[in-house]
Structure formats: C-alpha cells, structure tokens
Structure 1
C-alpha cells in the first residue's frame, strides 16, 4: 500500500524556508523601490506574495507526488516535482533507521526519518516528514523484516489480529545524576583552537591579557589567565552540548537490535542492528579516567562521518559497566595490551621538542615582522620543553594492542584515549605503513581497516609504532584470523576448529565476498 507524507509537512516545510523568503523579500522591496519609485512598495508586496504562493504550490506538489511503500524485500520511494526519482532500497542493505524531532516537530507530532545503508557516505533516503507513529512503525517493521529474512506481514499476528511486539530489554538509562556528570566531565576540544584562530590576529585583544612591555612574571600570569579562561569556556560549551544531546538517554535491546532515545531540544530515536556492528570503541579522557568513567561508541557501516552522533551507545558510565556492556554486545574478554618498544618515547619527545622549536621560530618571525608588537616575548613557550619527556611517556603508556581469540583490540591517545574492539571477520584490509621517520626507529603502524563510517576519516583500529618484527607478525596473523573467523561463522569448521565433512571442498575454498572479504595487505 502506497503511503504519503504527513499533511502537516506542507506548512512546516514552508515555514522552515521562511529565512530565504525574508531575504528574498528584502531584495525585492529594495529593487522595486529603486525601479518604480513611490509604487515600489506595492510592487514589492506583490512580488513577495508571488514568491510565497510559488513556494506553497511547490510544497503541495511535493507532498502530493511523494509516495513510499514498504514490502517484504524493498523500501520503494517515488518523489520529485519536476524530475521524478524512483528508488528501491533492499531491506537487507538498510543498516540504521533514525528518527529525529525538534521541539516544533514534537508539538506537531511529525518526525524526520533517515535510512542509512552500508558503504554510503550520505544518507540513502529521508522522509521529511511523517507522523511519529508512522516513523516508529517503519523502524519496527524494517527491523522485523531484517530479522525474519523478509517474511510477509501477518507472520507475527496474534489471535486477536494484533502484531506481537518483541520484548525490549533495557540495557542502560541515564539518570539525572549521571547526566550532570556527563556535562561536568565534557570538554569541547574545538573551542581552544577556534579561540586561538579568532584572537591570535587581534593584538588589542591579546594586549588586554598581557600589556605591552610587561615583565616575565606579568607575561606568565597573563598567559595563565588566558589559558584558564579558554579552558573554562571550553568546559562550559562541552557541558551544554552534552546535556542537550544526552538528556533522557536510554538504550534497549529488542532481539538482535539496539534501540536508543536521547536529546532535549532535538530528540533522536534510532536503531543499531547488532549484526551490522563494525567496531566498539571505549573512549575516555584524563578527567573521566580519574573518576573511573568512560563512554562507549558503536560504529556501523551505515553512518557518514559527522552524522548526528547517533553511534553513541553510552555517553558516560562506570568503566566496569561500560566494558560489561561491550562484552554483552560482542564478548571480547579482558584485553591485556602490549605497548610499543620503550625507545619510541625518545621519538615522541624529540617530535614535541621540534614542534615547540617551530612555534618559537614562528613567534620570532612574527615579532620581527611586527617590530616587536607581540604582547609576549617570542621565547615564552620555551619552558614547555620541560614537559616534553612527560608527554612522551604518557603517549607511549596509553598505546598498545591485543589479539584475542575473536577480536583485535587497539589503544591510542592520552587526552582522548580510544580502545577499539574489532571482530576479526569485520577486517577489510590490513595496512602496514612505515614512514621515513618510523624506519629510522625500526617501528611501523599496522591498521585493521573496517567498513565502518569512521574509517573514512582515518580513525581505524591501529597498532601504532610497534617493532618491525611485531608488525610483520601482525600482518601475517590478522588475515589468518580473519579466514578462521569467517570459516567458523559460515559453518565451514566446527567450534573446535576442525573442518566439517558435510561442507564441499570447493565451497570451503571460495573466497569470502562483500563486507566479509579477505583483506589485502
């Protein structure tokens, strides 16, 4: 049965474009007044009315010509006013169904629905807008069809004629206290860089912090005050964003699918199929580690980088609780990491010193160009050289890798540490990279590339700066573990690892295809 968008989508989409109408009205009034003199105002009103009528007519036509239909195998969408577009999206390819509603949409009872598919850098299809109950029905039905392999509607009917809803198992709920902790322990790392860019070119702004001609003590006090101010603004910004994003967060499991709800000003309601999970990532920072907290992110192949953040499974919880949930989603055990060789700490320290030297050189150049107008002396950052060995040690300490029976696990980062858990059967490519500088230290980086969305921005699981001999071993072991894992999942071998007699040899030797393809090295 063909379905259409909600009738309320017409006035909402018209109002949503109100900004462009106001801008057009200003231009039309100005142009009409200049061209027609005293009667220009009336002409401008007529032109604005014509634009408004054209917009309403277009939205009405868009609504009347937009149809969609969900059957056992595909989601069919037909749209377009001038140029028609017909899409058939196989149900098996749908990775995620996300529902979002802002405050106005919640009042109107409508919602936007996004359908994400594997391998797409953009949202595959969107419904703007349907009734919220219809959005939930689509989410439920697509999940049911995927679980049941495309069985027709009616298979789950009860004797009363109603559809039996699967049981929802609540995995995590964010309490008010935990929401406050999410805000208190959040920090927006983008704000310091943004403030530096905005203020670095403003000598008056910096002079208010460090007066020209100030002595070393005043310079140090001024820089410290500025740094504390930037940290405070970054913390407040991160806290506000976190509270708005994760208000009333809850995570449930419905059979083999995770479903979440979150958000205050904009409410997100999404689903994450467990069989489409590519990577689990445990994330923390020094403040969260000190208090024993961490976050958990679930990555599938269906999200484009920079999407609405709906991959977040748990915004904040006790570390033990986070790892327990990760093991419930995909049992990995307790990783025991092997760190890079100790000699790389010297490499990190040298790298930090060279970067600091570059900054000092730039400051001296800027001081020479401006005739000494900088509000601080060019050598001001030099004392930071004392921190280089400490930073190098912590960078080394928080790196490592671990190979479990079914997963490869990597750990990287100090200010934002990420522990990435990758099932062997999800590995797409094993990449062994060795830069000129790494070769001088006899180390390499081995990356386990997956089909996850974050891999598109170079955020894969990686064993960084491991010894060359270890890199050679990893490059040989990971493809072997992948083949063994795929053989077990496809039933080519039994749980003991022995080949089954009932599987033909030619089928056992066939290379995997699709997302389970054998890796290149």
Structure 2
C-alpha cells in the first residue's frame, strides 16, 4: 500500500519556528542600521526603532509560512520532503540510499512528547532530511515504517504491488485486547523479548512464532542484543578521552574569562607563578604556562567523562528484522536504526587503559553520516570484556580469529629514527626556553632523558601493526593510543592501492590503503596496512582486487541477497 498522504510537523513546531524567525526579523534592522549609519551620515540609528516592529512581523510571518509549506510523506519507493517559502525544494529520498534513521529527544522534547527525526543517506556528510519536530508516536511510526520498507526484498515489493494478492493483514478494526497490546508495546518497545541477562553477558535470542518461523517484520519489536551495564558505563566514561571536550573548555573560558584568569593565577602562584598577567618574570610566565596546561587537561578530562556518561547512559542495542536498532542518552535521548546490509566494515577499538583492564569496544561503519562522528561510525558495543567483543566481531562478520602478519624489522628501525628526531626537537625546545627565559638553566639537560622513551615507543608502534588476508575478509590492525582492528569484507572494498613516501622507497617499504564506501574523517582514517615489504604489499593489493571481483561475481550469482552481517551476533 502506498502512503501517499502528506503530513505536517507538530503544531508546536509552528510556534518555535515562528518565534525563531521573529527574533531574527527583530534583530536584523538593528544590525543593518548600525552598519549603514557607520558608512552613511544620512542614516540615523533611531531608524532601527521604527524598522524593528516591521522586521518582527515579517519574520514571524515567514516562520509561520515555512511551517505550512513544509510537508513530508512516505511512498512505496521514497521518503518525500518538500520545504521552502519563496524557493521550493522537493526531495525524494529512495529507501535503498537510507543508511540511518535517528530520533533525538532533548529534555524539552521528552517533556512535551516530541522528537527530531533525522534521515541519513549513503555518501552524505550531513543529514539528508530533518523533521524538527514531530510527535513521539509519529517519530516511532516513521522510524518503523522506513526501516520496514528499507529492509523489504524485491519479491516482497512485487507482492505488495500485486492487487490480486490476498491481504496479509486484516483490514477490520482491532479489538480492545489488540489495542491494549499495541499500547503496551508502544510504551515498552524493548520489553517481552526472548533475551536474558546472565553473569557472563546477554544470551542470544531470536523473535519467532510458535511454529518456529520468523515473525512478520512489521510485527517485530526490537530484540535486545546488548545492554551497557552500570560498571561498563563508568569504565567507558573514565577510560575515554574525547578531543571535542577541549572545544567545550575553550568556550567556557571565553564566556567566563575573568574567573578563569583568577583560577590560573591562583594555581600557579604556589609554584612561582605571577600575581598578575602584566607583572611577571620569565620564569613566572613559564610556571603559569605549566599550571594552565595542567588545569586545561584536568578540566577537559572531567568534561569528557561527564559527556561520555550522559551520552551513553542506558545504552541498548537490539535487532528488528535485518536492522540494528539502538537507544542511548541521559539528558538528550537518541534512538536510531542501521540496516545490516548497509554496514561496510566492523572495527574493534581500545586504548592502553582499556587494554590493561581487558576491555574493548565494537563499531560498525556505514557509507553515510553517522551519529557518533562526522563519518558513518556507530557504536554497536561501547565497552565490554575483550573476549566478548572479539566473539561479537567474529559472529557479526563470519570471520575466523585472524593470524596477523607483522611488518618487516626494518620498519621498527624506521620508527626508531622518527621518534629520535622528535626527541631531539623536544630537547632543542627545552634548551631554547632555558636560554631565553632563564627558567631551569641548570636543569635543561635533564630533557635528554626523553631519548630513553624512543626504543620502547618504536617497539610499541611496531608490535601493534598487523594484517590478515582471509578468504572472505581483510583484517587490518593499527594504532596504539587508540588501537583499531578493522574487518573488511572483500565485496565492500572500493579500491586497493599502494602508497610510498620517499623514506619508504629508500627502505623498500610500502603502505596498502583499503578504501570502502565509509567516509574518511579526522577521527576515522582510511584503513591502511603500514610499512610492509614492497613485494608483500603488492601481493596484498593484487589479492584484494582479485577477491573483490570474485566476491562481487558470487553476490550477483547468489539467489539469496540477504545481509552478509549477522544481526544476531551475540
């Protein structure tokens, strides 16, 4: 059946849009008049007092018109969104391009029963369409309907369009018992699932009818796969450092400049810091700089812990048909879905502290925009015991435990030279500071001790690199501070190439870059096999290209075009 009717946003959206546009319209005359009065003497600043009411009315009218001109609807093949007052924009988003359907609820939204629905598509660096905002029940309906139509197979679509086919669901009104069950499921969408928490983790389960067959997708409620318990949430918060927290600290420093200055001066004075920024010796400025850096690190870490805790509070991952669905958030609640057939690769992540405690995380990547980064990365398991995460990855991708190949020993010597040059620069900086400021003149040479860290740093870099060329998957491991082990099916590979720097050419090394449809971002770089022997690198690239063609041919010939990633990976 085609849902050809169009819908408008929630009536409260008209209120917020009108108020927002009215504020812009009210402030615009003040800005324009102030600029023009500085250029033309004939323009008086008092004009803004007369123009502001007009701007207020025009802005309010525009916001109201925008609300009534915004429409959306679902068809058999697309999600249609039309917007714009003077310049109309109509978008038809095919279901096959949709990667994620996210529902976001802030504190105000949750109190008012509202939500923001974001539709993310393949290859997009930003949200394709956002419905800001709709009712909570309408958001769940859209998420469920888009998920159902996205996962529908071609033969099912033909059956739906066959008018001679019998109806699969009754057209009569539901009785009171069915209505009560629907309301209960709506209020508790994750309840009543055949899953149970045990001491060793979450038992796997599937949603089936009494006859043993899979229940119809449209009737399925999410089956719980993984839930982040309180201990894992606290460990994840305290062992994760988010660079974005630094931006929040800088914003706080901008708005509370005087308080921040007083705090920095107070913490630096016991260590020889100045009493004011304008009256200090060179050594006092150095002490102030060190104290400021320590304060910045401590505050940034505290903000990171709070942000991570609030973001992943009550994290739950489930399955609905062939889709992964998730919910998380304390103050701002998120829920979304990721079709398993859209997953490009799977990555196990950890950092030194998490490795020491025996924990790791699991991420899946799609080809479009994702809620957890500027790319298509979505956290499937934020943190769990490393044995469980490895089992999850193996079950999800169908790969065996990899046997990693290491780069040649000459690569370790390359890292030794690289880090020795970095140490030399640090010693030079210490000598320069002592010479210019007189701070630590007698002790600058102690900075030479940084060279002691060069051999272990080179070794740690070397031992954390590895790759495994499997029959169906390519596995790449790299990184130390945030180690990533990525499993890439051959049929998801876009290109495989060898890249060599001038230093690698001198040593006979190369790096193998494996591109997928996932977006490359600042955080998630393209999976790369670093510093392997040139001949080995060429063999890996050639093997990857051949198995890519073989995998694509097998998929075209296969009769079952279902997802290759298991939705019951627990």
Under a length normalisation based on structure 2, what TM-score does the superposition of the two structures give?
Answer: 0.74
CA deviations 1:461-520 (Å, max 9, x no partner) are: 2111111121011011101111222222222699xxxxxxxxxxxxxxxxxxxxxxxxxx
Q: Which residue number in structure 2 is paired with residue 438 of structure 1?
A: 504
Alpha-carbon displacement from aligned partner over 1:67-89 (angstroms, at most 9, x marks no partner): 11211011111110110111111
Q: What is the match of residue 546 of structure 2?
A: 480
Match of 1:400 in 2: 466
1:95 partnered with 2:99: yes
Q: Distance in 2 between matches of 1:254 and 1:261?
A: 13
SS of 2:120 mapped into structure 1: strand
Q: Structure 1: how far apart are the matches of 2:103 and 2:404?
A: 38
Aligned to 1:342: 409
Superposition deviation, residue 342 in structure 1 = 2.1
8 A Cα contact 1:398 1:411, kept in partner: yes
2-structure distance, mates of 1:138, 1:267: 17
Quote the offset at 1:19 in angstroms.
Answer: 7.4
Given the alignment of the two structures, is residue 449 of structure 1 paired with residue 503 of structure 2, yes or no? Answer: no
**CA-CA distance at 1:112 after TM superposition:** 1.5
1:89-121 C-alpha deviation (Å, 9 max, x unpaired): 111111111111211122222222111111222
- SS of the equivalent of 2:336 reads strand
User: Which stretch of structure 1 is more off in the superposition, 240-249 or 177-186?
Assistant: 177-186
Q: Is the 8 A contact 1:66 1:79 kept in 2?
A: yes
Contact 1:280/1:326 (CA < 8 Å) preserved in 2?
yes
Aligned to 2:211: none
The offset of 1:188, in angstroms, is 3.0
Q: How many residues in Structure 1 have an aligned counterpart in Structure 2? A: 479
- Indicate the residue corresponding to 2:169 in structure 1: 157
Aligned mate of 1:182, from 236, 251, 254: 236
- Choose the corresponding residue for 2:70, options 55, 66, 74: 66
Taking the aligned partners of 2:21 and 2:439, their CA distance within structure 1 comes to 46
Deviation at 1:158, TM superposition (A): 4.4
* Cα distance in 1 for residues equivalent to 2:230 and 2:90: 46
Q: Per-residue deviation at 1:257?
A: 0.3
Q: Tell me if the contact between 1:28 and 1:48 (Cα under 8 Å) persists in the aligned partners.
A: no
Determine the C-alpha separation between the residues in 1 that align with 2:379 and 2:230: 18
Q: Equivalents in 2 of 1:194, 1:397: separation in Å?
A: 35
**Residue 334 of structure 1: how far off its partner (Å):** 1.0
- Write the distance in 1 (CA, Å) between the matches of 2:446 and 2:296: 18
CA contact (8 A) 2:509 2:534 kept: yes
Q: How does 1:371-382 map to 2 (within 5 A)?
A: 371-372=436-437, 379=445, 381-382=447-448
Q: State the partner residue of 1:315.
A: 382
Offset at residue 378 of structure 1 (A): 5.7
**1:269 paired residue number:** 335
Query: Which range moves more in the overlay, 255-264 or 127-136?
Result: 127-136
* More displaced stretch, 377-386 vs 431-440: 377-386
Deviation of the 1:234 alpha carbon: 3.9
The answer to whether the aligner puts 1:302 opposite 2:368 as a matched pair is: yes
Change over 3 Å in CA distance of 1:207–1:104 after alignment to 2: closer
In 1: Cα distance, 2:249 partner to 2:70 partner: 45
Q: Any unmatched runs of 5+ in structure 2? A: 175-215, 254-260, 274-280, 561-570
Aligned to 1:238: 304
For the residues of structure 2 that align with 1:40 and 1:455, how far apart are their CA atoms? 47
Q: CA RMSD in A?
A: 3.8
Q: Which moved more, 1:348-357 or 1:471-480?
A: 348-357
- CA separation of 1:425/1:28 partners in 2, compared to 1, >3 Å: closer, same or farther? closer
Which is further off, 180-189 or 302-311? 302-311
Aligned mate of 2:395, from 328, 347, 355: 328
> Contact conserved, 1:32 with 1:44, CA < 8 A, in 2?
no
1:237 is displaced (CA, Å) by: 2.3
Equivalent residue number for residue 505 of structure 1: none
Native 8 Å contact 2:282 2:439 kept in 1: no
Counterpart contact for 2:477–2:486, Cα < 8 Å: yes
User: By how many angstroms is 1:13 displaced?
Assistant: 3.1
Cα drift, residue 195 of structure 1 = 8.7
Alpha-carbon distance, 1:398 to partner: 0.7
Structure 1 segment 193-212 matched on structure 2, within 5 A: 208=269, 209=271
**Contact 1:299/1:454 (<8 A) preserved:** no
Bigger Cα displacement from structure 2, 345-354 vs 321-330: 321-330
Counterpart secondary structure, 2:557: coil
How far 1:283 moved relative to its partner? 0.7
Distance 2:518 2:106 in 1: 28
1:233 deviation in Å?
3.2
User: What is the deviation of 1:122?
Assistant: 2.4
Scaled by the length of structure 1, the TM-score of the pair is 0.81
Separation (CA, whole Å) in 1 of partners of 2:410 and 2:506: 12
In 2, Cα distance between equivalents of 1:352 and 1:156:
67
Aligned to 2:423: 356
What does residue 50 of structure 1 align with? 54
Report the CA distance between 1:236 and its aligned residue: 1.8
Counterpart contact for 1:487–1:493, Cα < 8 Å: no
Partner Cα distance (2:527, 2:475) in 1: 7
